[in-house]
Amino acid sequence: MTKIIGLTGGIGSGKTTIAKYFNSLGLPVYIADDEARKIMQTPKVIGAIKETFGETLFEGTILKRDKLAEIVFKAPGKLKELNAIVHPAVKQHFKEWLMEHKKFPIIIYEAAILFESGNYKDFDLIITVTAPLESRIQRVIERDKITREQVLERINSQWTDEQRVSKSDYVIENIDVEMAKRKTDEILKILKIKQNEC
């Protein structure tokens, strides 16, 4: 039976780098944030976002993602409303994706808010990627071209590393990418042994 491994970490922790590394080792990887972006462009979700947040967030049918981010990361209530629209659609999409990959013994599901959404209960094991706060802030500023204040708003809307680690089976410290990859190799070896014992 397929083991579903949840992979998470705060914004800027480098969890997507680790997800892509797992993929390079032959494991199917579902990157929830990427899929959510695509799903947010479907007519049903666009309709629900317009209804909840108003037409001004759209230029024609194109969602102004930066404007939406500005709203939801300043108000936890608004973030909840957005998640209530997007998460069920992502969950359904993942179910369909899983059916296509069920021949694989291990698959990885990567998501930033695995714990906050309650999705972690659906997985066999959880891996959390951590990184020093300053490294995370710098990575996100460079990647998303946003201010330090905006990065901190996003970080504060998520669980802390301590909270995530306390509920995780494995932790990958991403201070040095090569060391993080070695830790990933170790974890994968353990997962494969466990899977063979099943």
Binding site for ATP: what residues are annotated? Answer: 12-17
Are the C-beta atoms of 86 and 80 separated by less than 8 Å? no
**What are the backbone dihedrals phi and psi of residue 91, each rounded to the nearest 5 degrees, phi first?**
-60, -45
Going by the DSSP 8-state scheme, the letter that residue 74 receives in this structure is T
Q: Smallest Cα–Cα separation from 110: which of 31, 23, 28? A: 31
User: Binding site, residues?
Assistant: 12-17
Q: Smallest Cα–Cα separation from 111: which of 1, 33, 13, 4? A: 33
Give the end-to-end CA distance of the chain in Å, rounded to a whole number: 8
Handedness of CA 154, 177, 172, 83 (dihedral sign): positive
How many other C-beta atoms lie within 10 A of the C-beta of residue 54? 10
